[in-house]
Chains A and B, each alone.
Chain A
Amino acid sequence: MTQHATATAPKTPRRSKKRGSVLPGFTPTMGFTIAYLSLIVLIPLSTVFLKTAGMSWAEFVEAGFSTRVLAAYKLTFGTAFLAALVNAVFGLLLAWVLVRYRFPGRRLIDGMVDLPFALPTAVAGIALTAIYSRNGWMGSWLEDLGIKVAYTPIGITIALIFIGLPFVVRTLQPVIEEIDVELEEAAATLGAGRWTIFRKVLFPTFFPALLTGFALAFARGIGEYGSVVFISGNMPMRTEIAPLLIVTKLEQYDYMGATAIALVMLVISFFLLLAINLLQRWSSQRIGHS
């Protein structure tokens, strides 16, 4: 979906300069877009910058980069990355199965993919904790194997996998639908093996969409609070996520400290997402024009 937008993006302005846009009303719609975006996104985010501007540099470093906060960033970004990676692999598999195969109950499974979108995250967190804690039915079984899930980073990752799954599946589905079966057949007649077809023919076509899905799941994981606080155990230095630290600061009426952490997260997230976007654009151009 998004990959189409980025793929065609460089073409549109060139065309509009030469012949004007095909669609009328560019000016008012653009004006509306900017006004809307400011109101919904930019103004609230800019208050984060404004609030931290009241701090001295030393205070900002103290609030945003103390050892405990650094441990929380590491955990938050690490688990979100891992969860997005798992989702990328299994979300791809799921999307493939849902698009390519016809089997009874397909629609039902397809609908189930959206559930993590709709469910209040706190409910997900409580349910996962109940299942994976020591006396839960998965937890007691895993405990025998010596694996602890609830109240460890593994538990946090599982919660984030749950939350992020629909992002990958839903971005991949339309792209996989568009892949012509003839393409694979042609490759097969030219003597390519299954692995080569996957690597050289299929993978490049859905790789940009996979990256988009990955980025969305990753971003969602970084900001997730509701489900994680239940399963993480919230132990400082070990299972304390950065969004919890923000809430902790707020509980102490330390609004500035809270916005300092928010600002650091915002900046890191921005650059990570920018990097993913650039990578995606680079890959879609390479594929699109080769």
Chain B
Amino acid sequence: MKHYKKNLTLLAGLLLATSTYAAKELLNVSYDPTREFYKEYNDWFTKQWKQDTGEDVRIKQSHGGAGKQARSVIDGLAADVVTLALAYDIDAISSRTGKFPSDWQSRLPNGSAPYTSTIVFLVREGNPKGIKDWGDLAKPGIEVITPNPKTSGGARWNFLAAYAWAREAFDGDIAKVEDFVGRVYKNVPVLDSGARGSTTTFVQRGIGDVLLAWENEAFLSLKELGEDSFDIVVPSVSILARPPVTVVDENAKKHGNLKLANAYLEKLYTPFAQRLVAKHFYRPFLPEFADAEDIARFPKVKLITVDEAFGGWQKAQAEHFSDGGTFDRIYTK
């Protein structure tokens, strides 16, 4: 009997301990290359929130390919906020679950994109094949490494950037543009399923002459593998990639996190967060807050947006990446 009582008090004590300790939890579902940035941002945000409200919060991160992450949220992963690579993937969550309004992009500044990036070329040290611009990628004998646009968000940016360049170069002659894009993809020896996979193929396996990469991934490769093995080449035109963020309203409400989730994303636009963005090789939306040194790393390049050049993601997806679209025709022709 005594034993039993002892157990009971222990149990009660445990329950009490967990209930007082239970900090609020926020789940941020993100894509691959933001790992390092959010790790640092979360530490800072947790401290800020404690200071402002006295509440303890714990932020959990989930990373993976953007398409796969979006699908998990659609299938029921209880994300409070999503921070993905493409507006298209967040659109899919909104239309399939109805958990937040379809005009979500207007809820935060810059189309809900606190940081942007672009597509650059990573080439071998000294650029032995002399690759300068998109036109060089279609030349015979050049090996291009890029992931499969059907499975990778980053690969879709690559495809559209090449397409946009060609449309300008060939004065909008669609037959020539498609022929050019086709020749670029004929030069691709391996189509990995995700951006990190392509980076591995190029960097570790030593395959290919040029890797089409997110600017932040390219810088990260240089930082981790040494500046003397690769060079970054910036093409004349590239695409403005805006990885957007949004609150999944219904999930956050259910967890009682709505205020917290909104604050979490709004604070991405604060001077400190913007400086952090630049430190992690993303282009900040408000460059005036970043270190001048970090900003100087980003070369000036003419950037076009998907909205201007392709009429938005829904249209681009339907025309180029759906079954029977431009990308499929390259291989089935």
Which A residues lie at the B interface, using CB under 8 A?
Answer: 62-63, 66-68, 129-130, 133-136, 150-151, 229-230, 233-237, 244, 247-248, 250-254, 257
Contact A234 B191 (CB under 8 A): yes
Contact B96 A252 (CB under 8 A): no
B65 closest partner in A (C-beta): A251
B331: which of A62, A68, A254, A257 is its contact (CB, 8 Å)? A68
Tell me how far the C-beta of A81 lies from the nearest C-beta in chain B, rounded to whole angstroms: 24
B148: which of A230, A234, A237 is its contact (CB, 8 Å)? A234
Tell me how far the C-beta of B190 lies from the nearest C-beta in chain A, rounded to whole angstroms: 4
For B41-70 the 0/1 string (1 means CB < 8 A from A) is 000000000000000000000000101100
Which parts of B192-207 form the interface with A (CB within 8 Å)?
192-193, 197, 204-207
B151: which of A67, A135, A247 is its contact (CB, 8 Å)? A247
**Inter-chain contacts of B92 with A (CB < 8 A):** 253
Q: Complex Cα distance A248/B325, Å?
A: 14
Q: Complex Cα distance A62/B207, Å?
A: 35
Q: Complex Cα distance A145/B82, Å?
A: 50
**Inter-chain contacts of A252 with B (CB < 8 A):** 67, 150, 321-323
Contact A67 B332 (CB under 8 A): yes
> Known: A248-B148, A251-B67, A251-B150. Is A133-B205 also a contact (CB below 8 A)?
yes
Contact A151 B190 (CB under 8 A): yes
- B328 interfacial contact with A, CB 8 Å: yes
Contact A250 B71 (CB under 8 A): yes
**Inter-chain contacts of A253 with B (CB < 8 A):** 71, 74, 92, 96
Tell me how far the C-beta of A230 lies from the nearest C-beta in chain B, rounded to whole angstroms: 8
For B173-198 the 0/1 string (1 means CB < 8 A from A) is 00000000000000011111100010
> Known: A129-B205, A229-B193. Is A251-B151 also a contact (CB below 8 A)?
yes
Question: Can you add 9 more A-B contacts, CB < 8 Å, to A135-B207, A234-B193, A237-B332?
Answer: A133-B205, A133-B206, A134-B205, A135-B205, A234-B192, A235-B188, A236-B191, A236-B331, A253-B92
Q: Complex Cα distance A52/B255, Å?
A: 36
| Interface of B: prevailing SS | loop
Tell me how far the C-beta of B221 lies from the nearest C-beta in chain A, rounded to whole angstroms: 17
Q: Complex Cα distance A151/B204, Å?
A: 15
**Inter-chain contacts of B321 with A (CB < 8 A):** 252
Contact B190 A244 (CB under 8 A): no
By size class, the interface of chain B is 20 to 34
**Inter-chain contacts of A130 with B (CB < 8 A):** 204-205
For B300-333 the 0/1 string (1 means CB < 8 A from A) is 0000000000000000000001110000100110
Q: Complex Cα distance A151/B188, Å?
A: 11
B66 closest partner in A (C-beta): A251
Tell me how far the C-beta of A240 lies from the nearest C-beta in chain B, rounded to whole angstroms: 8
Contact A151 B323 (CB under 8 A): no
Which parts of B127-142 form the interface with A (CB within 8 Å)?
none
Tell me how far the C-beta of B202 lies from the nearest C-beta in chain A, rounded to whole angstroms: 11
**Inter-chain contacts of A67 with B (CB < 8 A):** 332
B71: which of A235, A236, A251, A257 is its contact (CB, 8 Å)? A251
Closest 4 CB pairs of A and B: A236-B331, A251-B67, A135-B206, A233-B190
Tell me how far the C-beta of B325 lies from the nearest C-beta in chain A, rounded to whole angstroms: 10
Contact A248 B191 (CB under 8 A): no
**Inter-chain contacts of A63 with B (CB < 8 A):** 323
Contact A133 B331 (CB under 8 A): no
Q: Complex Cα distance A235/B278, Å?
A: 36
Contact A237 B331 (CB under 8 A): yes
Tell me how far the C-beta of B165 lies from the nearest C-beta in chain A, rounded to whole angstroms: 23
**Inter-chain contacts of A68 with B (CB < 8 A):** 328, 331-332
**Inter-chain contacts of B193 with A (CB < 8 A):** 229, 234, 244, 247
Tell me how far the C-beta of B201 lies from the nearest C-beta in chain A, rounded to whole angstroms: 8
Q: Complex Cα distance A151/B321, Å?
A: 23
**Inter-chain contacts of A66 with B (CB < 8 A):** 323, 332
Tell me how far the C-beta of A135 lies from the nearest C-beta in chain B, rounded to whole angstroms: 4
Which parts of B62-105 form the interface with A (CB within 8 Å)?
65, 67-68, 71, 74, 92, 96
Most A CB within 10 A of own CB, among B65, B150, B204, B321: B150
Tell me how far the C-beta of B181 lies from the nearest C-beta in chain A, rounded to whole angstroms: 14
Contact A233 B332 (CB under 8 A): no
Tell me how far the C-beta of B69 lies from the nearest C-beta in chain A, rounded to whole angstroms: 11
Tell me how far the C-beta of B229 lies from the nearest C-beta in chain A, rounded to whole angstroms: 13
Q: Complex Cα distance A229/B96, Å?
A: 29
Q: Complex Cα distance A251/B154, Å?
A: 13
**Inter-chain contacts of A151 with B (CB < 8 A):** 189-190
**Inter-chain contacts of B150 with A (CB < 8 A):** 248, 251-252
**Inter-chain contacts of A236 with B (CB < 8 A):** 191, 328, 331-332
Q: Complex Cα distance A257/B65, Å?
A: 21
The contact sample of 7 A-B pairs, CB cut-off 8 A, is: A130-B204, A135-B205, A135-B206, A230-B197, A233-B190, A234-B148, A253-B74
Q: Complex Cα distance A256/B151, Å?
A: 17
**Inter-chain contacts of A62 with B (CB < 8 A):** 323
**Inter-chain contacts of A134 with B (CB < 8 A):** 205-207
Tell me how far the C-beta of B71 lies from the nearest C-beta in chain A, rounded to whole angstroms: 7
A139 closest partner in B (C-beta): B205
**Inter-chain contacts of B205 with A (CB < 8 A):** 129-130, 133-136, 150
B317 closest partner in A (C-beta): A252
Tell me how far the C-beta of A216 lies from the nearest C-beta in chain B, rounded to whole angstroms: 27
